[in-house]
């Protein structure tokens, strides 16, 4: 069966952002998070990705794909996707997607009881 | 095929190992297939695509940097309607273009990219068995036949001289019995083949090109079959079959699939040569070390100051920090460029193969003739299977 583009994109970027956040943790704490991430099950339900976890407390959460802006085509007439900020270009679409996904992963960590506060910081990956 | 400036760049890279000669430009994440072994269409879905105006600026900047060759890949590059303009932008700046496609292109699209200066094509082909290929391609029926049609069209429209055509074949457990057929097929129609082993990762280490599915990993028995296959295709190359891959690269495929350290990065202290010899561009034009990794604040290649930003020590340090933490890949182009630039024997072999003795192409081929040829090769393979089995047992 062919893979679902938005679902697979969600999965990849969810785990990528999880890696960004867990890379900032100490060794022991990180191991705990990695065990959690390895155990996650993600289902594709309609226009949503549903994340299920069993520990530290069991739970589930759904994410609507439409919140992400994926496969953004070229804009020929202007550079509205690439704004200049302090002399440097920024990809507004990428930044928005990444910020949204980092926040979502951080919320999952809080909902599961792994963390008590939201941590969102962009890093290389 | 290469401009004079590109030849100078290649010579500088060979001497000093500090001249970017090759760039993979992921011009779109969009694709009309969802191949089992490809994750990049998901990994690059979150960024905006560059416009053609921005790509023209990228081409100017590549010329200034001395980039000799750009791989236009995706996603599916033909998903962009402005692909001919993109090809023209680079070729008119003396940057050689290779296009990597799944073969879903119309005759008009193919004619247009050739007229724009495109002389170098790589088509993904993992099997001569249509049902296996369709399955690998994500279950899209007729995708194998579409690829074959594209092959026929390229042999019709590419000039015989100063052009290059090849198959990119992903070595994976499901096509172990098919790779030799692809090489035989390619050789019969004057196309090279290159083999890349499938790359797998886990949910806690997502990488741009690597699939999460552990079923694509290698079992012990599959590893043995793959080792035997690598040795057989090495012999095929020695017998004159058009296999692009060097001996060292083939040896490293065996190490890679058995999770042993590869050797191609050894002469650079165990890290790859990004960004000194090669680098990647995301669909938004942002520099990346490769298809697997990204920088959060990398420069955009269409920016006016890109050449100086690219040469800056801070960018090199950031990319090399990432490269130092990487276990290594076998994605074909990066390893082969490092090997060609750093190992004398590989350099001599490349020179012999492409400059001293270029192949004479027996083009054009029709779709019907290609179909018959593929069927004949598969039919003959059946007779060889017993011999292959004995060879495998011997190993």
Residues B235-286 pLDDT 10s:
999 999 999 999 999 999 999 999 999 999 999 999 999 999 999 999 999 9
With an 8 Å Cβ cutoff, are A9 and B205 in contact? no
Residue B270 is classified by DSSP as T
- Averaged pLDDT of chain B: 94
Residues of chain A in contact with residue B294, where contact means CB-CB under 8 angstroms, are 124-125
With an 8 Å Cβ cutoff, are B47 and A91 in contact? yes
pLDDT digits (tens, 9 = 90+) for B9-43: 999 999 999 999 999 999 999 999 999 999 999 99
What mean pLDDT comes out for the span B91-114? 97
pLDDT digits (tens, 9 = 90+) for B140-186: 999 999 999 999 999 999 999 999 999 999 999 999 999 999 999 99
**Residue B222 distance to chain A (closest CA, Å):** 24
**Residue A57 distance to chain B (closest CA, Å):** 20
Report residue B348's pLDDT band, with 50, 70 and 90 as the boundaries.
confident
Quick one: which of A123, A125, A97, A112 has its CA closest to A37? A112
What pLDDT does residue B52 have?
Answer: 95
Cα dist from B10 to B60, B68, B153, B161, B281, whole Å: 18, 7, 31, 21, 20
**Residue B296 distance to chain A (closest CA, Å):** 5
What pLDDT does residue A117 have?
Answer: 66
B205 touches A: beta carbon within 8 Å = yes
Residue B286 is classified by DSSP as B
With an 8 Å Cβ cutoff, are A74 and B49 in contact? yes
HEC string of A34-87 equals HHHHHHCEEEEECCEEEEEECCCCCEEEEEEHHHCCCCECCCCCCCCCEEEECC
What pLDDT does residue B356 have?
Answer: 67
Cα dist from B71 to A33, B122, B343, whole Å: 38, 10, 23
Token readout for B344 is 């004398």
A75 touches B: beta carbon within 8 Å = yes
For an interface test with B, give the residue of A6, A38, A67, A73 to mutate (most B CBs within 10 A).
A73
What pLDDT does residue B2 have?
Answer: 83
Residue B388, pLDDT > 60, answer no
Report residue B392's pLDDT band, with 50, 70 and 90 as the boundaries.
very low
Residues of chain B in contact with residue A31, where contact means CB-CB under 8 angstroms, are none
Percent of chain B with pLDDT over 90: 89
With an 8 Å Cβ cutoff, are B138 and A2 in contact? yes
With an 8 Å Cβ cutoff, are A71 and B138 in contact? no
Q: Strand runs (DSSP E) across B53-162, as ranges?
A: 69-73, 96-101, 120-124
What pLDDT does residue B3 have?
Answer: 87
Could you tell me where the DSSP H helices lie in B269-312? 306-311
What pLDDT does residue A124 have?
Answer: 65
For an interface test with B, give the residue of A16, A73, A74, A76 to mutate (most B CBs within 10 A).
A74
Report residue A17's pLDDT band, with 50, 70 and 90 as the boundaries.
very high
Quick one: which of B89, B107, B88, B87 has its CA closest to B98? B87
Query: Among B42, B51, B295, whose Cβ lies nearest the Cβ of A74?
Result: B51
Gap between the Cα atoms of B282 and B294, Å rounded: 9
Residues of chain B in contact with residue A40, where contact means CB-CB under 8 angstroms, are 203
**Residue A48 distance to chain B (closest CA, Å):** 16
With an 8 Å Cβ cutoff, are B204 and A70 in contact? no
- Whether the CB-CB separation of B90 and B45 falls below 8 Å is answered with no
Instruction: Specify the 3-state DSSP secondary structure of B312.
Output: coil
Percent of chain A with pLDDT over 90: 70
Instruction: Specify the 3-state DSSP secondary structure of B158.
Output: coil
Report residue A104's pLDDT band, with 50, 70 and 90 as the boundaries.
very high
Residues of chain B in contact with residue A82, where contact means CB-CB under 8 angstroms, are 48, 54, 284-285, 300
Could you tell me where the DSSP H helices lie in B276-366? 306-311, 313-324, 333-342, 344-350
Residue A103, pLDDT > 60, answer yes
Residue predicted with more confidence, B354 or A7: A7
pLDDT digits (tens, 9 = 90+) for B36-65: 999 999 999 999 999 999 999 999 999 999
With an 8 Å Cβ cutoff, are B286 and A91 in contact? yes
B294 touches A: beta carbon within 8 Å = yes
Q: B2 exposed, middle or buried (CB, 10 Å; 0-12, 13-18, 19+)?
A: middle
pLDDT digits (tens, 9 = 90+) for A46-90: 899 999 999 898 999 999 999 999 999 987 655 566 777 666 788
pLDDT digits (tens, 9 = 90+) for B200-240: 999 999 999 999 988 899 999 999 999 999 999 999 999 99
With an 8 Å Cβ cutoff, are A124 and B295 in contact? yes
With an 8 Å Cβ cutoff, are B139 and A12 in contact? no
| DSSP output for B47-77 | SBPPPHHHHHHHHHHHHHHT--EEEEESS-G
What pLDDT does residue A42 have?
Answer: 96
A72 touches B: beta carbon within 8 Å = yes
Instruction: Specify the 3-state DSSP secondary structure of B282.
Output: coil
What pLDDT does residue A119 have?
Answer: 62
Residues 6+ apart with CB under 8 A from B305: B299
Q: Is the reported ipTM for this assembly greater than 0.90?
A: yes
Q: H or E stretch including A88?
A: strand A88-91
B221 touches A: beta carbon within 8 Å = no
Query: Among B46, B50, B202, whose Cβ lies nearest the Cβ of A13?
Result: B46
Residue B344, pLDDT > 70, answer yes
pLDDT digits (tens, 9 = 90+) for A28-42: 999 999 999 999 999
Query: A–B: how many Cβ contacts below 8 A?
Result: 119
């Amino acid at each position: 069966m062919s893979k679902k583009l938005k679902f697979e994109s969600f999965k990849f970027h969810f785990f990528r952002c999880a890696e960004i956040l867990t890379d900032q943790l100490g060794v022991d704490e990180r191991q705990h998070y990695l065990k959690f991430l390895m155990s996650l099950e993600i289902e594709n339900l309609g226009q949503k990705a549903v994340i299920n976890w069993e520990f530290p407390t069991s739970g589930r959460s759904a994410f609507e794909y439409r919140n992400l802006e994926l496969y953004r085509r070229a804009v020929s007439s202007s550079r509205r996707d690439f704004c200049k900020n302090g002399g440097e270009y920024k990809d507004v679409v990428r930044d928005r997607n990444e910020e949204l996904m980092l926040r979502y992963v951080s919320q999952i960590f809080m909902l599961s009881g792994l963390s008590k506060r939201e941590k969102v910081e962009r890093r290389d990956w | 095929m290469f401009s004079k400036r590109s030849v100078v760049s290649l010579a500088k890279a060979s001497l000093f190992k500090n001249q970017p000669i090759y760039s993979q430009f992921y011009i779109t994440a969009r694709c009309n297939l969802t191949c089992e072994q490809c994750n990049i269409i998901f990994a690059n879905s979150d960024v905006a695509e560059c416009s053609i105006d921005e790509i023209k600026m990228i081409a100017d900047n590549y010329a200034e940097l001395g980039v000799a060759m750009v791989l236009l890949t995706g996603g599916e590059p033909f998903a962009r309607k402005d692909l001919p303009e993109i090809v023209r932008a680079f070729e008119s700046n003396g940057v050689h273009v290779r296009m990597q496609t799944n073969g879903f292109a119309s005759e008009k699209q193919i004619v247009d990219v050739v007229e724009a200066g495109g002389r170098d094509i790589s088509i993904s082909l993992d099997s001569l068995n249509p049902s296996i290929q369709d399955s690998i391609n994500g279950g899209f029926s007729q995708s194998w036949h579409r690829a074959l049609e594209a092959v026929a069209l390229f042999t019709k429209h590419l000039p015989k001289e100063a052009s290059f055509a090849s198959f990119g074949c992903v070595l994976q457990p499901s096509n172990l019995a098919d790779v030799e057929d692809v090489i035989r097929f390619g050789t019969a129609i004057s196309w090279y083949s290159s083999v890349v082993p499938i790359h797998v990762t886990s949910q806690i280490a997502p990488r741009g090109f690597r699939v999460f599915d552990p079923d694509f990993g290698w079992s012990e028995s599959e590893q043995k079959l793959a080792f035997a296959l690598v040795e057989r295709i090495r012999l095929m190359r020695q017998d004159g079959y058009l296999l692009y891959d060097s001996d060292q690269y083939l040896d490293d495929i065996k190490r890679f699939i058995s999770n042993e350290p590869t050797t191609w990065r050894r002469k650079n202290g165990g890290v790859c040569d990004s960004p000194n010899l090669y680098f990647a561009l995301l669909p938004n034009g942002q520099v990346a070390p490769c298809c697997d990794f990204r920088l959060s604040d990398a420069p955009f290649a269409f920016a006016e100051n890109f050449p100086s930003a690219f040469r800056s020590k801070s960018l090199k340090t950031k990319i090399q920090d990432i490269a130092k933490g990487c276990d290594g890949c076998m994605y074909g182009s990066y390893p082969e460029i490092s090997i060609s630039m750093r190992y004398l024997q590989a350099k001599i072999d490349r020179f012999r193969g492409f400059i001293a003795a270029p192949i004479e192409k027996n083009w054009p081929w029709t779709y019907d003739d290609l179909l018959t040829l593929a069927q004949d090769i598969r039919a003959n393979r059946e007779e060889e299977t017993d011999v292959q089995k004995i060879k495998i047992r011997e190993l």
